[in-house]
Structure 1
Amino acid sequence: MTSEDRISPPTPGPLAAIERRSIGYVPLRERHGKVWHLFPVWFTGGAQLATVATGFIGVSMGANLLWSMIAILLGCAFGTFFMAFHSTQGPQLGLPQMIQSRPQFGYMGALLVWGVALISYVGYNVFNQVLAGDALHEIAGAPSTLSYVAVTVVAGAIALAGYDWIHRIQRWLSLPLIIILAVITVGFFAVVRLPDSEWSLAGFNTPAFLAQFVAAAAYQLSWAIYVSDYSRYLPPNVPIRSTFWSTYTGTFLGGAWTMLLGAGAAALNAKMDVIPALQAFGDQIFHGFGTVILIVSLPGLVTISALNFYGGSLTLLSALDCFRRFEPTRVARVVSLALIAGVALMLTLAASKSFMENFGAFLAILFYLFTPWTAVNLVDFYLVRHTHYSIREIFNPRGIYGRWSWRGLTAYAVGFIAMIPFWSTTWYTGPVAEALGGVDISVVIGLPVATVAYLIACRSLDTDAERILVAQADADLEPSSDTPSAEAVTPGGSALD
C-alpha cells in the first residue's frame, strides 16, 4: 500500500504546502469543490496570449476578418465539444486524464498517447514562455533569458502547490480578464476602423478558412489531455450535464473571445508579430491601453504554463509507473515537475524564429494525433463500458485491461492512417487534400473511422463479465463508514490475483 493512499498526518516542513496526490485515485473523503469552479479554470486558461496567437492564423494566410471570425467560432465550438465530455470523466473516476487511457490501450499501450501528451505539454510551454518573455520585454524591457527563467519558476511553483491553488488563482484572474476583454471588444467596434473588404462575404479563402478552423479546434481539443485533472476532486454525484456545461462555456468563451480579438489585431497589423500587434491594437483604442492589455494578460500566460507543467508531471509519472512501480509521493511530484520545467526552459532558450512561424502546423499535427484518441477514449467511456471501470485494475500491470489492448491500439492506428491523405499543413499535404485544393477535412474522417473501428473491435468484449470483475476488484476501494481510520485501498490489487 502506498503512502499516498493512507489517511496520513500532515507533512511537516516545506513539503506541507505541496499537493499530496498525483496519479493515484482521490478517495471520496477528499472530494471537494463546486462544479461552477470549472468555468473560471477554463475561461482563464483560454484568455491569454497563446490563444491570441491562434487567432492570427487565418488572417496571416489571407482570410479576411469576417471569415476568420466564422472559422474561429466554428472551430472552437467543435473542439470544445469533445474536450468538455472528457471533463465529465474526472468526478466519475477520481483519476487524472491520461491514466484513464489504460482501459482502452492497455497498461503499456497507453504510453503511445502519453508520449504525444508530453510533446504537447512541452511544445505549448515553449511557445507560452517565448510569448511571456516578449511581453515582459515590451512592458519592462526585461532581458528575454531572465524573463523565460522567471516565468518557469513562478509557473513551476504554482504547479507544485497543485490542484487547489490552480483553481484559486484561476478564479482570481477571471474577473479582471472578463473586464479587459469587454473593454477591448467595445473599443474595437467603437473606435477601430477597417476596410470594408475585411467584413465582406466575397473572396472566401478556403485554405485559410480551414487552417483557422483546424487551429482553433485543435487548440480547444488540446485541453482534453488534462481536462479531468482539474475535475477529479469533485464529488462523483455532480451531474454529468453540469460538469459538461461548466467546462464547455468557460473554455469556449475564453478561447473564442480571445482568438477573435487576436484576429482583429492581426487584421489591423498584419505584418507585426503577436505581441507588438496586440499592443498596437490596444493603443488604437486609446493611448497606453496596449501595455495595459499585456500586463493583464501576462498572469494568465503564467498560469497556463503552470497547468502544462502540472499535467506534464502527472503524465510523466504515469509513464514511469509502467516500467517500475513506485510510491507517487510529494518528492516524486517535485522531481517530475523539475524535469518537465527544465526541458521546456532549455527548448525555450533555443527556440528559433522558425518554431514560432510553424506554430500553426504544430497545432494541426496535435489535432491529428489527438483526434483518434478522443474518439476511442470517449466511445469507450460512454458507449462501451458505460463509465464502469476498476480503479485498482487500471494500476495493475497484470489486470483485466491487459498490458497491450489490441482494440484501442488498432482503432487508433486505423483512424490515424485514414486521416493522412486528407492532411494539409506547411509540412505535408496529402493527395486527397491536394486534389481538393489544399482543403483539410481529416477530422471529419478520423473521428468516425476511429469510432467505428473501436466499436467493431469491442464486439468481442464481454462487458458483463468484466463488470463482475470490476465489482470484485473495487469492493473495498473506499473504507467503510464504521471504520473511519481504515486505510483506503491502494490501486494495484487485482480481482485476478
Structure 2
Amino acid sequence: MATATDPGTGRRPSGLEVRSIDYVPLRERHGKLWHLGPLWFMSNAQIATLAVGLVSITTGGNVIWSLLAIIAGTLFGTFFMAFHSAQGPQLGLPQMIQSRPQFGYIGALLVWLFAYLQYAGFNVFNTILAGQGMNVTVGGDVKLWIIIATVIAFTVALVGYDLIHSVERLLTYAFVVFFGIFTIVVITKVGLPGNAWDLGQFHVTPFLAQFGVVAGYQISWAIYVSDYSRYLPPGVTVSRTFYWTYGGSALGAIWLMALGTLLAASLATGATFDTIGAIHDAGNKLFSGFGGVILVFSALGLISVTALNMYGGSLTLISAIDSVKRIRPTLLVRIITIGITAGLGLVGALVSSADFLTNFTNFLLLVLYFFIPWTAVNLVDYYIVRRGHYAITEIFKPNGIYGRWGWRGIIAYLVGFAAMIPFFNTGTLYEGFVAKDLSGADISIFIGLPIAGILYFLLSRSIDTANERAVAARADVNLEQLAVAHARD
C-alpha cells in the first residue's frame, strides 16, 4: 500500500511541498548546485530592482558615479547574503529558524518580526509594479491585475521549492534574450545629459545614498537564501554554493540597477521618473509594441519574486508561531500561512499611495538598518563561533541547549543597531545628527556590521562548543528517521 508521501521528494501526491521549518532528511536532498545561479539572478532581475538604481540620479548624482556606487554596493552587500546560502545544504533548515542558536527559542522573534514585514512589504511594491505594467500594456484595472498577480504567486509558492526553482530558470533564459535586446536599445537610443561620464562631478551624499540602498537591497536577501538551498545535498562545498549565489545575484542586481540609472538620467532636469512609463517608452524606441512586451515579461518576473516572498514569509510566520505555541508544521499550516502572507501583501498593494519611489527608498533603508546587525551575528556564529556545528533537534526544543533567550545575540544586535542610529538618513523619515554633520551621508552600514559582529564574538567566547557538539551527537542520532516519519504522517 502506498504511503501518503513520497519520501524521496517530501511531497504529497498532489505535488504540494510538505516541509516547511522542519529538517530536510538526506534521502530527500536533490537538485543541482548551479540552479542557485538562475534563481538568484532572476530574483534580482526584475523591475523593482531597476527602481533601486534611481536613488543617486534623483538626488543630484551623475551617471558614472551612480554606476560605480551600484557596483560597489552590490559587490559589498551580496558578499554577506551569499555566505548565508552556504548554510542551507549543511543544516537542511530554512534561514530564519537558524537564528535560534544566536537569539534563543523566543528571542529570535525579535528578528523574525522584521523579516516578516520585509516579505509583506516587498510584495506590496512588486504587485503594484506588476499591476501597473499590465495596465499599460493590456489595459484593465490595476487593482484587478494586482489580484491576479497575487493569485498566481500564491499558487507557485504553495506548490513550493521545486516549482520556484524551475520557474526562475525558465524566466532567466527568456530574460537574457528580451532584456538583452532592451539593454542595447537603452544604451544606443536613450539620450544622456552632458555630464553623465564626468568623474569630476562627484557628490558624496548621492553616492553614499545609492551605495547604502544597493547594499541594503542585497543584504535583505540574506533572510531568504538557505530557504532555497536547504534541499541540496550536504556534500556541496561552501565555496561553490557561495559563488553560484553571489554570481547570480550580483549580475542580476547590477544589470537592472544600471538600467534604472540610465533611464532616470535620460529624463529632462526636474522630470518625475515613472518606472513603468520609462520602460515602456524606451522599449518602443526599437519598434512600437516592444515596450509592452518588456512590461509583460517584467510582470512575470515580479510575480515570481512575489512567490519567493510568500514562501519565505510562510516559513518565518510558522517559525514565529512555533516560538509562542508549539505547532506541527503540516501541509495545512503551510497553506494557511502562505495565504496570510499573500493577503497582507494584497491589502497593502490595494490601499498603497501613489508615491512609489519615496516609499520604496525609505523601505529599503529600513530593511538595511534592521538586518545589518542580524547578518553580522548570524555569520559570526556560523563561521567563527560554532563553525557550522548545531544540534538540529535542540533548535526545536523550547528548553534546549540554546535556551529561550539568547542574551549574547540579543545584546550584540541591539548594541549594533543603536550604534547605527546617529548615522541613519532615511530622507523624509529621519536623519541622525552624525549624518547631518556629514552633509546627509549615511555610513551606518560600516558601523553596525563590525560592532554587532565583534561584540557577539567576544560575548560568545564563554560558549562551550565542545559540550554542544556532544549534545548534538546524542540528540540528532535519530534525526533522519524522525524527519522521514514526519513527512509520512
Alignment TM-score, normalising by the size of structure 1: 0.93
User: SS where residue 404 of structure 2 aligns?
Assistant: coil
Give the whole-Å Cα distance in 2 for the aligned partners of 1:11 and 1:86.
26
Contact kept? 1:166, 1:303, Cα under 8 Å: yes
Aligned to 2:186: 188
- Match among 464, 467, 477 for residue 469 of structure 2: 467
Q: Quickly say closer, same or farther: Cα 1:489–1:449, change in 2 above 3 A.
A: farther
Distance 1:207 1:92 in 2: 41
What displacement does 1:9 show? 11
The equivalences for 1:164-179 within 5 A come to 164-179=162-177
In structure 2, the CA distance between the partners of 1:9 and 1:260, relative to structure 1 (3 Å rule), is closer
Distance change in 2, residues 1:219/1:4 (3 Å): farther
Q: Mean alpha-carbon deviation: is it higher for 170-179 or for 272-281?
A: 272-281
Offset of residue 192 of structure 1:
3.0
Between the aligned partners of 1:68 and 1:8, the Cα distance in structure 2 is 48
Matches within 5 A, 1:416-431: 416-426=417-427, 427-431=429-433
Distance change in 2, residues 1:8/1:266 (3 Å): closer
Query: Cα–Cα, structure 1 residues 37 and 9, in superposed 2: closer, same or farther, change >3 Å?
Result: closer
Partner of 2:441: 439
Alpha carbons of structure 1 residues 319 and 306: separation in structure 2 relative to 1, 3 Å: same
What is aligned with 2:254? 256
**Residue ranges of structure 2 left out of the alignment (5+ in a row):** none
- 2:78 aligned with 1:80: yes
Q: Is contact 2:48–2:125 with CA below 8 Å preserved after alignment?
A: yes
Q: Distance in 1 between matches of 2:6 and 2:170?
A: 32
Corresponding residue for 1:213?
Answer: 211
Question: Per-residue deviation at 1:39?
Answer: 0.5
Matches within 5 A, 1:68-467: 68-269=66-267, 270-354=271-355, 356-426=357-427, 427-467=429-469
Once the two structures are TM-superposed, the CA of residue 243 in structure 1 deviates from its matched residue by 0.5
Q: Distance in 1 between matches of 2:407 and 2:423?
A: 25
Aligned residues: 481
Q: Alpha-carbon deviation of 1:187?
A: 2.5
Conserved 8 A contact 1:415-1:446: yes
Structure 1 residue 462, shift from structure 2 partner: 1.2
| Contact 1:477 1:489 survives alignment (8 Å) | no
| TM-aligned CA distance change 1:424 to 1:487, over 3 Å | closer
Counterpart AA for 1:478? E
Q: What letter matches 2:276 in structure 1?
A: I
C-alpha contact (below 8 Å) 2:65/2:207 kept by paired residues: yes
Cα pair distance change 1:165/1:329, threshold 3 Å: same
SS at match of 2:191: coil
Q: List alignment gaps of at least 5 residues for structure 1.
A: 480-485, 492-497
1:355, CA displacement in angstroms?
5.3
CA 1:230–1:11 in structure 2 vs 1: closer, same or farther (change >3 Å)?
A: closer
Evaluate the alpha carbon distance shift between residue 175 and residue 8 of structure 1 in structure 2; reply closer, same or farther with a 3 A threshold.
Answer: closer
C-alpha distance in 2 between matches for 1:489 and 1:410: 38
SS at match of 2:480: coil
Paired AA for residue 465 in structure 2: T
Identity of aligned residues (%): 51
- The amino acid that maps onto 2:332 is V
Q: Which moved more, 1:307-316 or 1:3-12?
A: 3-12
Whole-angstrom CA distance in 2 between matches of 1:375 and 1:418: 14
- Give 1:294 deviation, angstroms: 0.9
The alpha-carbon deviation at position 354 of structure 1 amounts to 3.6
> CA deviation digits over 1:176-207, x for unaligned, max 9?
10122322232233333323211111222221
